[in-house]
Structure 1
Amino acid sequence: FSFRKLWAFTGPGFLMSIAYLDPGNIESDLQSGAIAGFKLLWVLLLATIIGLLLQRLAARLGVVTGLHLAEVCNCQYQKFPRIILWLMVELAIIGSDMQEVIGSAIAINLLSVGKIPLWGGVLITIADTFVFLFLDKYGLRKLEAFFGLLITIMAVTFGYEYITVKPNQEKLLQGLFIPYCRDCGTPQLEQAVGIVGAVIMPHNMYLHSALVKSRQVNRADKREVREANKYFFIESCIALFVSFIINIFVVTVFAEAFFNKTNADVHQVCANSSSPHSSLFPNNNETLEVDIYKGGVVLGCYFGPAALYIWAIGILAAGQSSTMTGTYSGQFVMEGFLNLRWSRFARVLLTRSIAVTPTLFVAIFQDVEHLTGMNDFLNVLMSLQLPFALIPVLTFTSLPSVMHDFANGL
């Protein structure tokens, strides 16, 4: 084992792990904390472990064959299933892009104390993609470093909330390691499904299988291929562990502070803290419902304005980083399935336009609740898209004709 070699292979796993930290994930985390307390942490743990295993298979496919998942699909499938697969993955990518737009718009709105309306935030996110493209020109290593910085920002901001709220550690450990959900009903079950959909993203497998190709591996040398697989797996473990910890921060903060709270409780606290947002919460005894926007507001009411702004910075980092996932995945998928060579600029313009249009309409004509409601819908959409990545990955990595000596064992 060599740390120098690990460093050389470090990058793709962290870029892949960003999909585990997008605004859809954050929303799913905070809702599971507020609705089920600590009881669904084990679902998050299991989903992350399953995600890791699937990412490992995707990375192995890329390393062993020198082709990414979409290219292998193109070689192995007939035209009709290829088109269906491509459309489904594109749908997942656009859904992911919409979540990025929603998250960034809400974060900008919170940071500007409402001065920049939601639709303004949506328009600003169009500009951010071009900043990303500008960075892309400086090479992959620089880009990897930039996204490493964004992950660090998320770790620091959500870590700050964790330290401020001080969740109960005993309940945290019980929730993580006891796969049981006492007194859970439909809302908790929906939340559990949402966690799986938010964590395991279909297009992420296409992305990871392509990103590993950025490292030079002599595929004729089995030892070198085996070594590359090993280091990519170690890197993925580290990256997903970091993303898991960040997700834990969010779930436990909301589980500790807002589980079983009513609207009236929060309304009272917000009114006492002179928050301009107290009207968000009706003065009734219904259970508190939170989303990315309300989550920040509630944190601000209970733990001071710093908690709100730091939360918004974390959400902004989550939104910005997931731009990359959509852009790269979209490019690889389009090239692989359709043999279309578009420039990244054109590709971003297309997906972002498709993602921004419905989001912009909702932002202009509806309120923030409808915008975050879209996030929940998109998480469910992701879980429905999962088989369209799962089946090809499992199939191809099990085929000796594709993987040779590296095919999955029974």
Structure 2
Amino acid sequence: MLYIIAVAGALLAANTLSLMIAGWRIRSRQDKTPSVAVRPPVSIVIPLCGIEQFSRETLESALILDWPDYEVIFCVADKADPIIGLAENTLRARPLANARILIGDDRISANPKLNNCVKGWSAAAHEWVVLADSNVLMPASYLARLMAAWRPDSGLVCSTPLGSRPSGFWAEVECAFLNTHQARWQYAGEALGFGFAQGKSMLWQKTILDAHGGIQALAAEIAEDAAATKLVNSMGLKVHLVAGPFEQPLGRRTFRELWARQSRWARLRRVTFPHFFAPEILLGVVPPLLLGLSAAVVSGTSLVTTTLAVLCTAYAPELILAARKHWHLSLLSLLAMVTRDVLQPAIWTRSWLRGSFDWRGNIMVIRSQESRLEGGVAEPIAGP
């Protein structure tokens, strides 16, 4: 029984320690913009596909940044995509001299997002290039915060998504996944020397990536951020994170959308970093709670008291982190965190099974660690 209690305690201690490290490492959203001594010209490449709830706002945010010289290149694969009209209207409403839309698709990989970025990377005029997802809400200090995070040993600077503006319970659960779970562990890992790229916002030095295969090198893995992590590490450089993550407004989410997205990310992590993914089954409240309840049954301790003790130990620091960093919190946040942790074992188990998913109209089938294109449809092969 003492062994069971010790393991449960160790899991809860690791959870608390990760929250403390993340709290130390992450700056609040309300902190002032970091000073940057040199402000070089920057190219921002943004792949677009379809119209989302906050598309107009996120597109506009890229055109009003506080930076003396930058260009924005919107990339669209399909000339019939309705996002083109919205992007054109946004450029008229928020004119930026160095902003344009490029249309076309370069099939270099099974990753449609990466394919869409190729033309933008080739057209980028500057040494510093940001690859940014279209659903990132860029603050005016966006480029300053990315550049401030660059260090002498950096090969890449990126940001995790910070969920905001959820509408409905399942969007609250999405916030619980993105913020105090995924962002927390990613920042804690980076602080301990295990930096992983995140494809939401990636700042590159163009000459460095071009010297190691260019943007085509990111096709080495089904997920471009996994390929980026391995490539940067192979150079003897590190992936660093911005001081505070950038917002991704969520809007409404359904359970099906949440399940599909989290399952997709889990399967990609399992394929690209299996040795880091396997221990994820130990994260969350479920393992220490089951161990604690087992010890309580053996010792005759109250199950209700044990449950409350474990839940308080697990979630009080998490709620404190969100409050101190001014992240989204609501009356549903605690229930959303519990729901997230209940779902995690099922998502982890699902990730080991063969399966397919739809990524913006591309049916992607995971079967092995290689990928291929069949009949014009991206078909990654990423599992047994």
- TM over 0.5, yes or no? no
Smaller-chain TM-score range? under 0.3
* TM-score, normalised relative to structure 1: 0.22
* TM-score, normalised relative to structure 2: 0.23
Bigger share in helix? 1
Bigger share in strand? 2
